[in-house]
Amino acid sequence: MPHKVSLSRLKLTDFRNYAAAALVLDGRHVVLTGENGAGKTNLMEAVSFLSPGRGLRRAAYADVARVGGSGGFSVFAELEGMEGEVEIGTGVDTTDETAVRRLRINGTAAKTVDELTDHLRVLWLTPAMDGLFTGGSSDRRRFLDRLVLSLDPAHGRRASDFERAMRSRNKLLSESRFDPSWLSGIEEQMASLGVAMALARQEMLGLLSRLIEERSEATPFPRATLELTGFFDGEFGRPAVDLEDAYRQSLRESRYRDAAAGRTLDGPHRADLLVAHREKAMEAARCSTGEQKALLVGLVLAHARLVANLTGHAPVLLLDEIAAHLDEGRRAALFDLVDSLGGQAFMTGTDRSMFSALGERAQFLTVTHGSVAP
């Protein structure tokens, strides 16, 4: 069994609709129930800030800070993490023009938020992701990169550096500044970063596909077939240096075309994640809404198991409104699968009875308009 990472305390200040909140947790799964709009998802979002990025809503920091509050927000947690007991505090002062997110680990300022991945990995599934298979490719790329980031913390930095380099190239091309040495330097950086991003995505999909293929236990959640397309399709068997040379050459040859288009037309930023229902041999986008939801749940749970297998530590799962569209049998199967991962999961719903199959495996809390009680 993987090592269990679990929160024992969570404290919020001026976070969304919470002026202040303090949760004492006992290591079991956490079920948050209450009316719509009471603040259940806000608590999940606070936990998601214990990972790099802008949380499960990807919200601007100013929108996270409570209206009428101090002008910022903070999240504090005590947990049994991947390196033992740890205290984590993070937050933002939105009155500061830079609005930089601060992070302290055991009272010491961290150099980057990437240090959070030394202590826990946080994965989530929210209703906003239900349209993943029918929406735009940018949503699937973002989902894919979150999967990669949970295994390769450096992936986020590579992606942001690539975007920065690409914006610089686009700006030079838009101004008709075709300085060969300047553009070549930027394109060299883009080739190195872009290929590294693509290979990290491909490696993660290969590992996840293998785990899905080897799954023997029967579950109500269908297996997915995964494919990365849109950038070096079918060429990932070549050495990385050859791929970098090919992409660098492609960028050089497409300068005038990209200048006319006003953007870079080829690269990892154009890739797409294709998902299919394995048993039906059908693209996920063509499946029913229920099948798409089941595919997504199965995919997220498979990825959580992959993270646990490769890191030796079960991730913290955030499952927002997870039971709303599942029948009783499928809910019970879901809870058993979540529990078998060996980690701690936070789940939300409006009706406590939907989580009755969890029994004593969960700690139940009631959320009522900015307050939390057993």
Closest CA to 51 of 143, 115, 129: 115
CA proximity to 264, closest of 336, 197, 167, 176 = 167
Closest-CA residue to 1 (of 345, 314, 328, 320): 314
For residue range 201-241, list pLDDT tens digits in order: 999 999 999 999 988 777 889 999 999 999 999 899 999 99
pLDDT at position 269 is 97
Domain stop point among 250, 265, 286: 286
Q: Which domain holds residue 140?
A: 134-286
Q: Is it the case that residue 283 has pLDDT exceeding 90?
A: yes
Both tokens of 345, joined, read 């999961």
Specify whether 12 is located in the same domain as 106: yes
Q: What's the confidence (pLDDT) of residue 178?
A: 86
| Same domain, yes or no: 140 and 70 | no
More confident residue, 119 or 327: 119
3-class DSSP state for residue 86?
strand
Confidence tier at 110 by pLDDT (50, 70, 90): very high
Statement to judge: residues 178 and 223 lie in one domain: yes
pLDDT band at 94 (very low <50, low <70, confident <90, very high): confident
Amino acid letter for position 301: L
Q: How far apart are CA 57 and CA 180, in angstroms?
A: 41
pLDDT in tens, 350-367: 999 999 999 999 999 999
At 125-171, the pLDDT tens digits run: 999 999 999 999 999 999 999 999 999 999 999 999 999 999 999 99
pTM higher than 0.85: yes
- How far is Cα 237 from Cα 197, in angstroms, rounded to an integer? 15
Q: Are residues 65 and 16 in the same domain?
A: yes
Residue 249 neighbours by CB distance under 10 Å: 12
Same domain, yes or no: 226 and 96: no
Confidence of residue 2 (pLDDT cuts 50, 70, 90): confident
* CA 110 and chain centroid, separation: 21
Task: Compute the distance between CA of residue 273 and CA of residue 226 in angstroms, rounded to an integer.
Answer: 7
- 276 and 146: one domain? yes
pLDDT, residue 179, reads 87
The pLDDT score that the predictor gives to residue 253 is: 96
180/255 same-domain check: yes
- Poorest-pLDDT segment among 66-70, 176-180, 360-364: 176-180
**Statement to judge: residues 118 and 23 lie in one domain:** yes
The pLDDT mean for the chain works out to: 94
Which residue spans within the chain are E strands per DSSP?
3-4, 6-15, 18-24, 29-33, 72-81, 84-93, 102-105, 108-109, 122-125, 224-229, 272-277, 282-283, 313-314, 316-319, 345-349, 362-367, 372-373
